Amino acid sequence: MTGTELAAAVVERCAEAARNLRETSGVTPCLATVLVGDDPASVTYVAMKRNRCARAGIESRHVALPADTTTEELVAAVRALSADPSVHGILLQHPVPEHIDERAAFEAIDPAKDVDGVTMWSFAAMAFGLPGFHACTPGGIVRLLDAYGIDPSGRHAVVVGRSPILGKPLGMLLLARDATVTYCHSRTVGLSDIIATADILVAAVGRPEFIKGADIKPGAVVIDAGYNPGNVGDVDFAGAAARARLITPVPGGVGPMTIALLLEQTVAAAVRQTATA
């Protein structure tokens, strides 16, 4: 299950919507990216997202803060962007340095501009089926399932990972599609036995090849949402591919969809804010 072509189609639609907004209202969608410190992986991710913005006709505004930035300083910077009418979406690159309260920084984002779906408001709206923005990776995964004709209804979905911006929201989205959802993590007792019952398996634990191919239920759909050094996912790809009906590669599976959803939600935020201005 590759996300590359699907993501390209989403970005193309974003570019068209951004162009229409510009022609009808003179407004260019703007995504503000905030990066604290100079972690090489984070710098690369932000640069990639800014490049994709340019392709989609989205303005990108970057705020680079030193590694010794305090929680209070980061919150102030995020609140300033939230109050800026020319900014339609805000992305705080995570993780932030350990001394910063990441949750406090996330909650400084105006929910109307939370195009990465990281605030508690966005999580609650998603869980209750209310208007709001999805966390981008979970939203991208659901879109990928739809594209490949995978209906979660009545299926047993096992999510290995409990991140508040990946595992937890994805489980809620699958539950909303009538899947029976089991949350697991690295400390789950009998994890292999639970994985073996999964019709849909999502690996989001952040450990290279943590899930072994021998544990995969024959015919299962495997979504590898992990990314580790060396382009390695959280699943033993070769072993799992021999048993799974469908499996996402790393890279080229979930990753492109994450960025595509970020751009789509940025344009949607700009359209909504322009309509209510």
Residues of the chain with CATH 3.40.50.10860: 23-110
**pLDDT value for 271:** 97
The burial of 135, by beta-carbon neighbours within 10 Å (0-12 exposed, 13-18 middle, 19 or more buried), is given as buried
Angle at 139 between CA 134 and CA 145, to 5 degrees: 155
pLDDT at 9 > cutoff 90: yes
Q: Could you write out the DSSP letters of every residue in 100-129?
A: S-HHHHHHTS-GGG-TT--SHHHHHHHHTT
User: Over the stretch 113-140, which tens digit does the pLDDT of each residue have?
Assistant: 999 999 999 999 999 999 999 999 999 9
Residues of the chain with CATH 3.40.50.720: 136-255
Which CATH superfamily, name and number, covers 23-110? Leucine Dehydrogenase, chain A, domain 1 (3.40.50.10860)
> Which residues on neighbouring strands pair with residue 34, listed in sequence order?
63, 92
User: Over the stretch 248-264, which tens digit does the pLDDT of each residue have?
Assistant: 999 999 999 999 999 99
**pLDDT value for 126:** 92
Q: Could you write out the DSSP letters of every residue in 192-214?
A: HHHHTT-SEEEE-S-STT-B-GG
pLDDT at 218 > cutoff 90: yes
E strand or H helix that includes residue 60: strand 59-65
Fold topology of 136-255: Rossmann fold (3.40.50)
**pLDDT value for 21:** 97
pTM above 0.75, yes or no: yes
Mean pLDDT across the stretch 166-173? 97
Length of the chain: 277
**pLDDT value for 242:** 97
Which of the pair, 277 or 51, is modelled with greater confidence? 51
pLDDT at 180 > cutoff 90: yes
User: Over the stretch 37-51, which tens digit does the pLDDT of each residue have?
Assistant: 998 888 888 888 999
**pLDDT value for 44:** 87
| Residues recognised as catalytic | 49, 93, 116
Provide the mean pLDDT of the chain: 96
